[in-house]
Amino acid sequence: MTSPRHLSLFLILGLFWGVSPSLYRHWGVIGMPVSHVILFTGFGVGLALALICHLRGIDWWGSRKLHVFGLGCAVLMNVPFALGLYFARHVPPTELALIISTAPIVNYLVALVTGRENAAGRRLAAIMLGFVSTAILVITRKGMLQGDVSWWLIAAFSLPVLYSAYNWFAAVWWPPRVHAMAAGVAESFWSGLLALPFFILLAPPWSGEQLPMAAYWTVLAACGMWTLERIAFFTLIQEKGAVFTVQAVYLSTPAAVVIALAFYGGADIWLFVSLAVLMGALYLNNTGSAARQTSA
């Protein structure tokens, strides 16, 4: 049974995931370097979580296993995170949100191929509907039928695959007796450290071509938002499993589309058709006896 606490964390996770595509787009529009976003949010979220751990008496420094886990999570998260920030400069946020939201279906497909899940008609139907949703989204984009292929849109479909690898790793390799917030600290600090060489080499603040400090207020807001998101994500992964956690896309997918439309517009009837089919696919994938709590 889902407790009020888990439901609250679920709502936080879904809503904050929904905001992210529009944030990505904003940073792309103003020209903020990808390495700056990852470095500042990594260290910012890490410091916030470390402070919370200190106040609550949680061992956030942890063991070698915790830091290996944190490094693994950071690597597997930073790759799709960086690509998502870059793709957002070329793919509308509404479309990017729909693409990322196919991750639960990809989760099941990966688990099926690797033998961690058995074939179930309900979830195989979800894969088919997910394919239909994807086809609708791709084919109906401007110029596609005339052969003007958006390779940025096609490339963006790598994101759900990469995020599925991250979700699988976080669920399967969770260190024993590690608190969710300690895991968040380790992942966040490693995320910032991994971005540091790119920050120095590609977009150093002393280059004289950087944005004014006032432009970074959304990064500060994202640090607060993603601190809560990390707490929610790791707590749900640890206590409820990956299948339950990724169901937050039921909330984040329509929220992401509505938020992106409010700020950037660009809707057409086919976008909503694709969204409706995708929501049906997610429902089939994450309900019924086939949806096991241990799946990634």
Domain boundaries defined on the chain: 4-286
Residues contacting 94, CB < 8 A, separation 6+: 21, 256, 257, 260, 261, 264, 266, 267, 271
pLDDT of residue 295: 38
Residue 278 CA to residue 257 CA, distance in Å, equals: 12
**pLDDT for the residue 195:** 96
Q: Give the pLDDT confidence score for residue 186 in this predicted structure.
A: 93
Please state the rounded mean pLDDT for residues 184-202: 94
Cα-based distances in Å from 242 to 14, 273, 280: 14, 27, 19
Largest CA distance in the chain: 61
Identity of residue 195: A
Sign of CA dihedral 79, 84, 90, 91: positive
Where is mean pLDDT largest: 33-42, 122-131, 151-160?
A: 33-42
| 291 pLDDT above the threshold of 60 | no
Q: Which of 8-17, 111-120, 156-165, 188-197 comes out lowest in average pLDDT?
A: 111-120
3-state secondary structure of 114: coil
The answer to whether residues 8 and 176 touch, using CB atoms and an 8 Å cutoff, is no
Nearest to 86 by CA among 10, 39, 24: 24
Query: End-to-end alpha-carbon separation of the chain, Å?
Result: 20
How high is the pLDDT of residue 128?
86
Mean pLDDT over all residues of the chain? 85
* pTM of the predicted protein model: 0.82
Stronger pLDDT, 290 or 21, i.e. the higher one: 21
pLDDT score for 4: 85
